[in-house]
Amino acid sequence: MENSIFQKHDRKKRMGPVELPLGVGVLYVGVDVGGTFTDAVLLEKGFVRAMAKVPTKEDLLSSLLEAFDRIIRQGVPVELIKRVVFSTTMITNLIVEKKYDRVGLLIMPGPGLSYKTYNFPTDTYIIPGAIDYRGREIIPVDLSEVDKALALFAAKNYRKIAVVGKFSSRNNAHEVKVERHLRGKFPDWHCELGHKVSGQLNFPRRVVSTFLACATREKYRGFIRSVQEALAQRNIYAPVFILKADGGTLPLSYSPEAAIETIFSGPAASTLGVQALTPEGETSVVVDIGGTTTDLALILGGQPLLSSKGARINDYLTHVRTLAVKSVPMGGDSVCERVGKEIIVYSERMGEPYCLGGPMPTPTDALRVLGLTMLGDEERAREAMNMLGGPLGLTNEEVARRIVSFVCDFIAREVMLMFTQWEQEPAYRVWEVLQKKKVRPSTVVGVGGGAAGFITQIAARLGCSPIIPPYAPVANAIGAAVARPTLQVSLRVDTEQAIYTILEEGYQDQLKESHFDENKAVELAKMWLFKRIAKYGLEKDLKEVEVTRREVFNLVRNWVTVGRLYDVVVQSQRGITHHVGFEVSNDGA
């Protein structure tokens, strides 16, 4: 089943890739490895040169090769490929299906929240030791307790340990000490440290993130090996990147450090794809209607909205920064039922739509009856509508219209809710409160299987223009292809204690400069960012950097300023490298 809902559009020539002779421009490849399909595109400047959708098989390598062969046909000069970017749901699926490795937790929470509150997904051992919010030691770490814990973990056959302390991002000494001790005793065990996984505040989230990073690392290496193998077999030697949940990319070879940052990169890929496929600067809602769920994302003034808090996965809260994507339980396969005189669409899936041989009527059947999709058997779709509407004396078309209307109402309501929730984000400064304003979208962009049937009505309910961009079925792969590499550095300086930390690197050191000020803080942060850029070999790609946060607090004790706290975040330019496909429809028509 190759997403046949789009066949109708495929017949219109403009939707297919442009059959023009290849120019001599640089080429970009984007590949989205989903649970069911692997999508791939080949871009040349702003043009889609080829696209493919192949089933994702158990043998990942063969799926990748198949996808490559469909987009890079004979005569395509592979040496002109400038960049290959992957996005994958692999880590997400591993976590959701709990197919990751066993990891023991060694945590140092010290005083604070009751330990009863913690409910981590594995054996957890609490070690005495505590650090405060400015990185000062409150309670020394007790290595004899570490020994006891390690003995227990060994007995239970754990070989991977995540070590996380409260406020370890302010001072990693305890975590480092425990790691050194562990390595001395069990040199072949794998040990993951909290401060290296996340520098953000929130200890329970750091514990979960570190646990997941540790538990998925080895499997993720397997994914990387398949990717590298596939590329080598097709003689592609361009730089390879992996898409992160926040829409940035990382060089593939360095990405094991950040494997969990690839969770939810699928929705990020679609959102970036839409950003690339729609005009610059729009405020739009991206509505990705799938079988079971509909994913909603916001593009505000041309930039995808980032979630203010880390991702939730399997009911565990993490530090993984994602685009603000909301998944609502409504899709083409949702179950429709008659309740009294009403026809209701439920948030669950019982199988395929009726017209495709499933057990229950679904919104897809309604679309089929209204001629908004060519999917499935028309007779069965009519039968499904009649099952619902017959006893009420409604025609099949009336039932279908009611169902479509129900789905559109539901999704439109969720979109409005998403905007209100975004307005409800906390603000900790006067200016932040004052600059809050109401923003509403001007366009609703539909992608995904069910988009064509619903998007016009959803847009009408929101007072927006509907858009189904060309290449919507492979928007995710396009998003991957155009995603920029992004690197960020967060610097924290405490001049009273003369220490500084680089959160992303898990690095801390003495501050040697005696006359430190805000400009020097920014310079120091930039220096570390360029160091990081060089480490990843991205000097050519990342030249422009911006300061995204700059905070200074005077430390005043007894009416005298004794020091300053600086929080500076610098990052390379975010977003997409270029837009895709506007001129194409003219060329291709």
Partner 1 sequence: MMGLKKTGIVFFPAFDWAISPTHPEREERLLYTRDQIFEEGVLDLPQILEYPPRLATMHDISRVHFCVPRVQSRVTEAHLIAAGATMLLGDRIITGEIRNGFALVRPPGHHAMRVVHGNRGFCNINNEAILVDYLRRRHGIKRVAIVDSDVHHGDGTQDIFYHDPDVLFISFHQDGRTIYPGTGFPNELGGPKAFARTLNIPLPPGMTDETFHYVVDNLVLPVLNDFQPDFVINSAGQDNHYSDPLGSMRFTAQGYADFTKKLNPHLAVLEGGYAIESALPYVNLAILLALAGEDYSNVREPDYWPGRLQENPERSAKVRQMVDQLRELWQKRNAVDVEKLFGGGRFYQRKKRIYYDTDYIDEEQVEKLRLCPSCPGYLIIDSRADHGFGHPTRAYCVSVPFSACAACHQEAYDAYEEGKQMSGYHYVYLQDKATDVYYSYDREKRQEWISEGPKMDG
One-letter amino acid identity for 5?
I
Q: Which of 313, 155, 145 is nearest to 163 (CA)?
A: 145
**108 three-class SS:** strand
428, 437, 438, 515: residue in contact with partner 1 (rule CB under 8 A)? 428
Interaction mask 193-232, partner 1, x per CB under 8 A: --------xxxxx---------------------------
User: Which range, of 26-34, 70-78, 421-429, 507-515, touches partner 1 by CB under 8 A?
Assistant: 421-429
The verdict on 560 binding partner 1 (CB under 8 A) reads: yes
Q: Which of 432, 161, 459, 163 is nearest to 287 (CA)?
A: 459
What's the min distance (Å) between Cβ of 528 and partner 1? 22
| Touching partner 1, residues 85-114 (CB under 8 A) | 111-114
CA dihedral defined by 463, 469, 473, 478, rounded to 10 degrees? -120
The verdict on 167 binding partner 1 (CB under 8 A) reads: yes
What's the min distance (Å) between Cβ of 526 and partner 1? 23
User: Which range, of 78-86, 146-154, 280-288, 549-557, touches partner 1 by CB under 8 A?
Assistant: 549-557
Task: Choose between 126 and 224: whose C-beta lies nearer to partner 1.
Answer: 126
Q: Which of 581, 580, 582, 572 is nearest to 247 (CA)?
A: 572
**Spatial distance between the Cα atoms of 523 and 517, rounded to a whole number of angstroms:** 10
Task: Choose between 232 and 552: whose C-beta lies nearer to partner 1.
Answer: 552
98, 341, 429, 515: residue in contact with partner 1 (rule CB under 8 A)? 429
Classify residue 327 as exposed, middle or buried by CB count within 10 Å of its CB (0-12, 13-18, 19+): middle
What is the length of the chain?
589
1, 20, 138, 151: residue in contact with partner 1 (rule CB under 8 A)? 138
The verdict on 433 binding partner 1 (CB under 8 A) reads: yes
**Spatial distance between the Cα atoms of 245 and 234, rounded to a whole number of angstroms:** 28
The verdict on 558 binding partner 1 (CB under 8 A) reads: yes
The pair of three-digit structure tokens given for residue 297, joined into one six-digit string: 């994302």
What's the min distance (Å) between Cβ of 566 and partner 1? 12
Q: Which of 89, 481, 447, 470 is nearest to 295 (CA)?
A: 447
Residue 33 phi, psi (nearest 5): -90, 100
**Spatial distance between the Cα atoms of 564 and 557, rounded to a whole number of angstroms:** 11
236, 317, 416, 499: residue in contact with partner 1 (rule CB under 8 A)? 317
What's the min distance (Å) between Cβ of 203 and partner 1? 5
CA dihedral defined by 328, 332, 335, 338, rounded to 10 degrees? 110
The verdict on 427 binding partner 1 (CB under 8 A) reads: yes
Write down the H helix ranges in 390-469: 396-423, 430-434, 451-462
**Phi-psi category of 234—alpha, beta or left, where left has phi over 0 and alpha has psi -120 to 50?**
alpha
The verdict on 437 binding partner 1 (CB under 8 A) reads: no
Task: Choose between 4 and 202: whose C-beta lies nearer to partner 1.
Answer: 202
The verdict on 431 binding partner 1 (CB under 8 A) reads: yes
What's the min distance (Å) between Cβ of 541 and partner 1? 33
Interface residues with partner 1 (CB under 8 A)? 111-117, 130, 132-134, 138, 166-167, 201-205, 317, 423-431, 433-434, 436, 551, 553-556, 558-561, 565
